[in-house]
Amino acid sequence: MSGTKRALFLDWGGTLAQTRDNRTVVDATGNPVLMPNVAETLARERPRFDSCFIVSNQARIGRGEITAAEVRRRFAWANERLGRPFTDWRLCPHGDDDRCACRKPRPGMFLELAKLHDVDLAASTHVGDSDRDRDGAANAGLATFVRARDFFGWPP
Ligand SMILES: [Zn+2]
């Protein structure tokens, strides 16, 4: 059964937060460094959607390089920093070999959030920086995928 709400799904690394060597860049206080134009763009675009989510592959958790709690703390920090645009968030702690249902390009995180929050996936948008994100959006039945550089207006 399809939900009713239009949602904006956002990737984390390379989309909302800066990464280097596939790790989130943190500042001297241990908090994430956000990508350019994120605050301004979300302030403008968020009202066009009923709900907004972070969906993030976090294979470093499965490798023991960071805890799920720390990743969630960073998401919560960004939510406060940006004026609470996010309705909820999901992370996938697995690697490719785990064959889970949630690691993008699999649609598990989108489907779980849609069920929980009454989301109409076909009317929703995913913003991400990788082909995994694009394919995850397609596999979840989203009509729209937007490259992060286009959504946030980064120079080429
Ligand atoms: Zn997973």
Q: Is the pLDDT of residue 98 over 70?
A: yes
How many angstroms separate the alpha carbon of residue 129 from the centre of ligand 1?
19
Which pTM does this prediction carry? 0.96
Residue 1 has a pLDDT of 58
Following CA atoms 9, 95, 73, 69 in sequence, which dihedral angle do they give, to the nearest 10 degrees?
140
How many angstroms separate the alpha carbon of residue 104 from the centre of ligand 1?
8
Residue 9 identity (one-letter amino acid): F
Query: CA–CA separation, 6 vs 132, rounded Å?
Result: 22
Per-residue pLDDT tens digits for 57-85: 999 999 999 999 999 999 999 999 999 99
Q: Is the dihedral of CA 47, 154, 107, 144 positive or negative?
A: positive
How many angstroms separate the alpha carbon of residue 36 from the centre of ligand 1?
28
How many angstroms separate the alpha carbon of residue 128 from the centre of ligand 1?
17
How many angstroms separate the alpha carbon of residue 139 from the centre of ligand 1?
15
How many angstroms separate the alpha carbon of residue 101 from the centre of ligand 1?
6
How many angstroms separate the alpha carbon of residue 90 from the centre of ligand 1?
10
